[in-house]
Structure 1
């Protein structure tokens, strides 16, 4: 981990590199470490920004996707970020979609990997069970094609979270909110170029979910990674980063802005 966690105005976040902004949003049990490879690779050319979502710290009555989207909006305003490329895994993908619905003028590109919003088999079909380390270890391993990716450090982190009653209440509240917020009927509103990277062996948001996002988002490209599950950027970082790099190169933000300017000039 070669980056610094910063604090400002009540926000904790990573802000590395310079250039077009890649705003990364983690999942329900996610952490900054999920994005290590993305930070290290893309901060050389882009400004990589990752807010720590207050999933476990927000008041239980606010523990919802609406509450998290409001948090992201406040963070983006606080940092005065524009022309965003949103990159979300799992719940973070769901938040990226909802944020784009509400703030289309801020978003120029979107990347979804294992996103919820259509269907999600959360925690392997059950809510987190408190007090059983073996159960948590099994459920964490379930999110990876290769169980060895589920390190003891990662399992310990999830176990600590699920051992707290207030945190578990927030998890359940947010999970129920995600189930209520099915985005299928509104995905036609997404007009920005969208990259979909899916683990072919995803057990949480199966391959069919990737296909459905691809069908419903007009300007989208879908790529599968074999022998990979729910978090491609962790399990297959080299392949994920290559797909992302190639796609970003083919969809530069400046060309879209230049095209809009030329169109305005033609009709002025």
Structure 2
């Protein structure tokens, strides 16, 4: 994925294609490159894909929370002048998308979540390793995927650098605590946004029962499974992920 970042005011973002906007929200230990398969596929199908860089490590500590990131998302949508968007989020990004859909439902025409936090506390609370222990971090990174080879040295090095950066580690822990506090079980039954749930059957971070719970609690949702797949379906099985999502969007007239 070689697209250049765009700048508008305080926002930096990747943009590709023309058509209905799909705004992608990456996870806490993820990045824009995690969605390379989506960026390569959807711009040719009548969609504009946008991936804002979330200010995970740039906010004052007291403002470092899921709620603040959801407000940032709303400001991003307004800054680009969109009336209605599709939100797609993985892990923490799914949580931000869910909270954004609750806070400003008029801006969200559809929601797509995969391996999302928001219901399952351990999804955010267990993954913050001991600083300096590279082998431990490598094992944790590999556990995210069904196929541990997906956790390349580049990915492991990036996580290792994050948890050994004191500023980033403090904010990572603050975000994790915020995510646990922002459990959305009581909110979901009131959220009418059409929602596509795509989940790895072998997700060790947010296990399959979490997807079942999302599907039961959200009034207008469809749940799809990908076999031999962990926590980041769009990375591990991009073709299957794109096919499921594109078919769902077409069937829903989105």
Give me the TM-score of the superposition, normalised by structure 2.
0.96
Equivalent position of 2:53 in the other structure:
52
1:80-119 equivalence runs, <5 A: 80-119=81-120
- Greater CA drift, 83-92 or 54-63: 54-63
Whole-Å Cα distance in 2 between the matches of residues 14 and 126 of structure 1? 27
Equivalent position of 2:192 in the other structure:
191
CA contact (8 A) 1:123 1:139 kept: no
User: Offset at 1:169?
Assistant: 0.5
CA contact (8 A) 1:21 1:84 kept: yes
User: Offset at 1:4?
Assistant: 1.6
Structure 1 unaligned blocks of 5 or more = 254-268
Quick one: structure 1 residues 239 and 120, their matched pair in 2 at CA, closer, same or farther if it must change by over 3 Å? farther
Give me the TM-score of the superposition, normalised by structure 1.
0.91
Whole-Å Cα distance in 2 between the matches of residues 123 and 13 of structure 1? 25
Equivalent position of 1:266 in the other structure:
none
Whole-Å Cα distance in 1 between the matches of residues 233 and 96 of structure 2? 18
CA contact (8 A) 2:125 2:180 kept: no
Encode CA deviations 1:185-213: one digit per residue, 9 max, x unaligned.
11012212110000000011100000000
1:168-207 equivalence runs, <5 A: 168-207=169-208
Encode CA deviations 1:10-57: one digit per residue, 9 max, x unaligned.
211011111001010011111001000000000112000110101122
Alignment partner of 1:23 is 2:23: yes
Whole-Å Cα distance in 1 between the matches of residues 191 and 231 of structure 2? 23
Whole-Å Cα distance in 1 between the matches of residues 240 and 126 of structure 2? 28
What secondary structure does 2:187 align onto?
A: helix
What secondary structure does 1:185 align onto?
A: coil
User: Offset at 1:125?
Assistant: 2.5
1:1-268 equivalence runs, <5 A: 1-44=1-44, 45-122=46-123, 125-253=126-254
What secondary structure does 1:40 align onto?
A: helix
Structure 2 unaligned blocks of 5 or more = none
CA contact (8 A) 2:124 2:179 kept: no
Encode CA deviations 1:142-161: one digit per residue, 9 max, x unaligned.
10000000011111111111
- Greater CA drift, 6-15 or 92-101: 6-15
Q: Which stretches of structure 1, 4 residues or longer, exceed 3 Å deviation after superposition?
A: none
Whole-Å Cα distance in 2 between the matches of residues 8 and 241 of structure 1? 28
User: Offset at 1:82?
Assistant: 2.1
**Alignment RMSD, CA only?**
1.3
User: Offset at 1:124?
Assistant: 8.1
User: Offset at 1:123?
Assistant: 6.8
Quick one: structure 1 residues 124 and 191, their matched pair in 2 at CA, closer, same or farther if it must change by over 3 Å? closer
CA contact (8 A) 2:101 2:193 kept: no
